[in-house]
Amino acid sequence: MKFLNTTKNNNKMKSYKPLDSMRTNSLSKIEGGGTVSIIRDGYVTEYTNIKNMDAYLTAALSRDPSITGYIYNGKTTNVHLNQEHKNNDMEDRIQINGFWYAKEEELEAVEYVAPTISQLDPGTKYDGFVFESDLYAFDCTRIYDEDGNLYKDGNVCIKFTDKSKYSGLGDVEIGEIWDNVDWMRGIIENEVEAIEEAMQSLCSQGFAELKEVLTTLRVAAWI
């Protein structure tokens, strides 16, 4: 673990960069992508090789309440301050018969400037398959690098959702991210350890569905 020095409000704050062995997503071990520094109370963690920054930040902020902000492209965003601003805005509003009203003298006109193509993030190119049954959903993707070429290996990701753990609108969707290609191959090749790990999340029907999904990906030359 490599420690760096940084400052916050003139006080030294520890910053570190996790080793490759500490990263769980295989894509993070492939060069390329963006870098973001996650701020927690008293220290900063730098994550490199992020291939889809929007998805990464959304997932991190939703899962980890200890995050107070992040630094990306030289800009610091304070998560707690954003929430405080929202709360302060509500102090000058009133609800009547289901409609919200704000003090007229405090409203400011804001000019909307449509982003040009040069201002837009080029985004990430990817391929996808979605398999769904009454019990489970398997959202499979593979992404391309900045030059539009597929990564040689390790770029396949499956977002697994157990439908029994959420009921839909308004509920938090509980899922898992599977991105170990060797484990996927082990399922197809009936490796005992891989099968036992899969059965921790699946019933017998789900395992049969997963094997069908992985077989389809193999036929499509994904794994």
- Picking from 182, 161, 164, the residue whose alpha carbon sits closest to that of residue 26 is 182
DSSP state at residue 182: H
Domains annotated for the chain, with CATH where assigned, are 2-79 (no CATH), 126-219 (3.10.450)
Q: pLDDT over 90 for what percent of the chain?
A: 24
In whole angstroms, what is the distance from residue 36 CA to residue 218 CA? Answer: 33
Mean pLDDT, the chain, integer = 76
180-204 residue pLDDT tens = 999 999 999 999 999 999 999 899 9
For 20-59, the pLDDT digits (tens) are 666 666 676 777 888 988 888 778 888 888 888 888 888 8
Residue 68 scores a pLDDT above 90: no
Whole-number Å distance between alpha carbons of 9 and 165: 43
Distances (CA, A) of 178 to 85, 134, 155: 37, 20, 11
State the average pLDDT over residues 143-169.
77
* pLDDT-wise least confident of 8-12, 69-73, 142-146, 183-187: 8-12
Task: Write down the pTM of the prediction.
Answer: 0.45
